[in-house]
Structure 1
Amino acid sequence: MLETSRLVLKPLSYQQMLKYIQNDNSLEAELKLNNTSMKISSLLKDALEQSILPSVADESKDYLYSTLWTVIDKSENTAVADVCFQGEPNQLGEIEIGYGTYEDFRGKGYMCEAVQAMIAWAKKQARVKAIIAATDKINVASYKILEKNHFVKVGESDEQFNWRLVFRD
Structure 2
Amino acid sequence: MMETERLILTPLTCDQLIKYSKADNSLENELNLNETSRTISAELKEALEKTILPNVADTTKDYLYSTLWTVISKQANKMVGDICFFGEPNSEGEIEIGYGTYTEFQKKGFMTEAVGGIINWAKSQPKIFSILASTEKENIGSFTILLKNNFLKIGETETLFNWKLQIK
- Equivalent residue number for residue 97 of structure 1: 97
For structure 2, the residue ranges without an aligned partner over 5 or more in a row are none
Inter-partner Cα distance in structure 1 for 2:117 and 2:109: 13
Inter-partner Cα distance in structure 2 for 1:123 and 1:112: 17
Inter-partner Cα distance in structure 1 for 2:149 and 2:135: 14
Q: Percent identity?
A: 58
Q: Does 1:21 align with 2:21?
A: yes
2:148 alignment partner AA: K
Matches within 5 A, 1:70-109: 70-109=70-109
- Equivalent residue number for residue 139 of structure 2: 139
Q: Does 1:60 align with 2:60?
A: yes
Q: Does 1:6 align with 2:6?
A: yes
Inter-partner Cα distance in structure 2 for 1:167 and 1:111: 19
Shift of 1:91: 1.0
Inter-partner Cα distance in structure 2 for 1:38 and 1:110: 16
Shift of 1:38: 1.0
Q: Deviations over 1:36-72 (max 9, x none)?
A: 0111011110011100111111111110011101100
Inter-partner Cα distance in structure 1 for 2:3 and 2:43: 29
1:143 alignment partner AA: F
Aligned to 1:104, the other structure's residue is in SS state helix
Inter-partner Cα distance in structure 2 for 1:28 and 1:91: 37
Q: Does 1:119 align with 2:114?
A: no
1:152 alignment partner AA: L
2:133 alignment partner AA: A
2:105 alignment partner AA: F
Aligned to 1:18, the other structure's residue is in SS state helix
2:62 alignment partner AA: D
Inter-partner Cα distance in structure 1 for 2:48 and 2:122: 22
Say what the alpha-carbon RMSD is for the aligned residues: 0.5
4+ aligned runs moved over 3 Å, structure 1: none
Shift of 1:127: 0.5
Shift of 1:5: 1.1
Aligned to 1:51, the other structure's residue is in SS state helix
- Equivalent residue number for residue 69 of structure 2: 69
1:142 alignment partner AA: S
TM-score, normalized by length of structure 1?
A: 0.98
TM-score, normalized by length of structure 2?
A: 0.99
- Equivalent residue number for residue 33 of structure 1: 33
Inter-partner Cα distance in structure 1 for 2:156 and 2:126: 29
1:136 alignment partner AA: E
